Chain A
Amino acid sequence: MKVEQISVFLENKSGRLSEVTAILAESEVNIRALALADTSDFGVLRLIVDDTENARKALKNNGFTVGKTNVIAVEVPDQPGGLHHILTLFYKADINVEYMYAFVRSSGDNAVMIFRIEKEEEAIRLLEKNGVSVIDGQRLYSI
């Protein structure tokens, strides 16, 4: 049920982000979701792509520091309180969300949110028990 995400260390220099997208385009990697967390000095770019290994190799060969993390993708009902419901579940179960961002495409009528959670197994069990749909990697890459 986990989804692989790659992260790239970026100095805050103009043009670095577009270098990443250019390298991925050249390697025919399709970006499915992207979020940038930055400070005044540096940023960490988080990416979900259709071919993680290929993307990782291409970026590494071009001198980027690349890491790999597991995240979970959750279907969030596209209605008021949809996200709140899920965050409340985590909060009550004492599960800490490191960060989250929205996936570009939706799944049917539902939005898709990406969560980075340390206790991910526990989170997945909790969500499924409460009838929240968690999307696995294969399905997510093909949405």
Chain B
Amino acid sequence: MIHDIEYETMPREALEAIQLRRLQNTLARVYSSVPFYRDAFNAAGIKPSDIKSLSDLSRIPFTTKKDLRDNYPFNMFAVPMDNVVRIHASSGTTGQPTVVGYTARDIGTWSNLMARALAAGGAGRGDIIHNAYGYGLFTGGLGIHYGAERLGASVIPVSGGNTKRQVVIMKDFGPTILTSTPSYALHLAEVAEEVGVSFDSLKFKFGVFGAEPWSEKMREEIERKLNLIAVDIYGLSEVMGPGIAIECHEGKKGLHVFEDHFIPEIVDPETLELLPYGEKGELVFTSLTKEAFPVIRYRTRDITSLNPEPCICGRTHVRMSRVTGRSDDMLIIRGVNVFPTQIESVLMETEEVEPHYQLVVDREDNLDVLTVKVEVSERTFTDEVKGLQSLERRISKNIKELLGVSARVKLVEPKGIDRSQGKAVRVVDNRNI
């Protein structure tokens, strides 16, 4: 179902007229109220009034994660604090967290966009949504929650963790929609199996998964193990949170970006040159309606491409392809670019292992050494050491063939790789460069 039929199926021309008007308003507002943007525009010799068409956007300087950090905590806010009703922060896995704020109207916009996203993922009034995204500073839990309420669905704010209890809730409350990270969805499947609950006996129809990169193979695995239709959702707290883009369950081929609220661009992460539709590069966002925390040409670090072709669902908004990695998650191993999701796709094709993995990079004698830790699977475990060793060699060979990089594959015990706490830690880089 399309939640916001007027805006989501708007002809491109009308959509672009709205984008331009909203862009001009946003630029004027940040120029007058956020010193960082005023300085950046001045340094580039640009005034908001110079922006006369959407293509003029490319003249405006980029904003980076570092800029947000430098303005920690509230200096990027475009409204006085007494208009801010909510504060979230991104996890500071590397350095300082970034802090974002929302006005009451921002929360309303976000709720509406999340309602759109859930509807595109198959949810509607009467559905029961099992929301296993973490509640807290992370935008996932509350973002989905408000959207579910806006949609008129019943939401179970179960959050992350205590997985055995979650299985009981799934059995007793009969939720029809699951929202979680893809790795947690697989963890739920494992725990359900351990306690003897089959997903075939549960009522799930659709699942909306995101907040970490995942592959098409992982989708197949989730759909098979959880007996539901899985779609990809995209968002990041710096731009808003979940609900910036969503895959429609009818098409399941790319995520519609809600272009009446955000302008997506794809740039070359090295040269920063704008790339045409279809080409892979770094995703850049400009918000069009946000009040407390507008972002202008924010570099997400996520690698994707945009597809403007019409979609069978009827939405006219461009689709971004599944994020294949982050330009800062990208590992350079002996000069070869490696995205964790590429390794994941190799593992997904290997029946004998679970899709839980971790990449560890060390430097030994000035050479990069990549170790892929992957869990041995109960289903196919044999007691033959030879068999297990040849499995390691086979995975290593497949990685070499696909990526051109040598990897040492190390089988680990089940649950040897932590995944119960929301986002899985996929990369441990021990190189001190």
Contacts and interface: CB of A to CB of B under 8 A. Distances in A.
Contact of A11 (B378, B389, B392, B416): B416
Interface string B365-404: 0000000000011100111110011001000000000000
Residue of B381, B389, B416 with most chain A CB atoms under a 10 A cut-off: B381
B187 interface: no
Contact of B384 (A11, A42, A65, A98): A98
A65 B376 contact: yes
Nearest to B408: A41
B225 interface: no
A13 B388 CA distance: 18
B412 interface: yes
Contacts of A7: 381-383
Contact of B413 (A37, A46, A64): A64
Contacts of A42: 388, 410-412
Contacts of A98: 384
B411 A41 contact: yes
Given A7-B383, A69-B383, A63 B389 contact: no
Contacts of A67: 381-383
18 contacts: A7-B381, A7-B382, A9-B381, A9-B388, A11-B416, A37-B385, A38-B385, A39-B389, A42-B388, A42-B410, A42-B412, A44-B384, A65-B376, A66-B378, A67-B383, A69-B383, A98-B384, A116-B383
Interface in A2-30: 5, 7, 9-11
B251 interface: no
Contact of A5 (B376, B383, B388, B412): B383
Given A11-B416, A65-B413, A65-B414, A44 B378 contact: no
A67 B385 CA distance: 13
Contacts of A41: 392, 410-411
B388 A44 contact: yes
B415 interface: yes
Counting from the closest, the 6 A-B pairs by CB-CB distance are A7-B383, A67-B381, A37-B385, A65-B381, A63-B415, A41-B410
A10 to B, nearest CB: 7
Contacts of B413: 9-11, 63-65
Given A65-B376, A65-B378, A11 B412 contact: yes
Contacts of A66: 378, 381
Contacts of A69: 382-383
A59 B382 CA distance: 16
Size band of the interface chain B makes with A: 10 to 19
A9 B411 contact: yes
A60 B416 CA distance: 14
Listed residue (B376, B382, B383, B412) with the most chain A CB atoms within 10 angstroms of its CB = B383
A46 B415 contact: no
A59 B197 CA distance: 20
A3 to B, nearest CB: 13
A86 B375 CA distance: 38
A46 B383 contact: yes
A49 B384 CA distance: 19
Interface string B290-332: 0000000000000000000000000000000000000000000
B289 to A, nearest CB: 48
Contacts of A11: 412-413, 416
A37 B387 CA distance: 12
A46 B389 CA distance: 17
Contacts of A10: 413
Nearest to B389: A39
A81 B256 CA distance: 75
B383 A39 contact: no
A33 to B, nearest CB: 14
Interface in A42-83: 42, 44, 46, 60, 63-67, 69
Contacts of B382: 7, 67, 69
A42 B376 CA distance: 11
A44 B412 contact: no
Contacts of A60: 378
Contact of A9 (B376, B392, B410): B376
A12 to B, nearest CB: 10
B385 A39 contact: yes
Candidate in A10, A46, A67 with the most chain B CB atoms within 10 angstroms = A67
Contacts of B389: 39
Contacts of B378: 60, 65-66
Contacts of A65: 376-378, 381, 413-414
Nearest to B412: A11
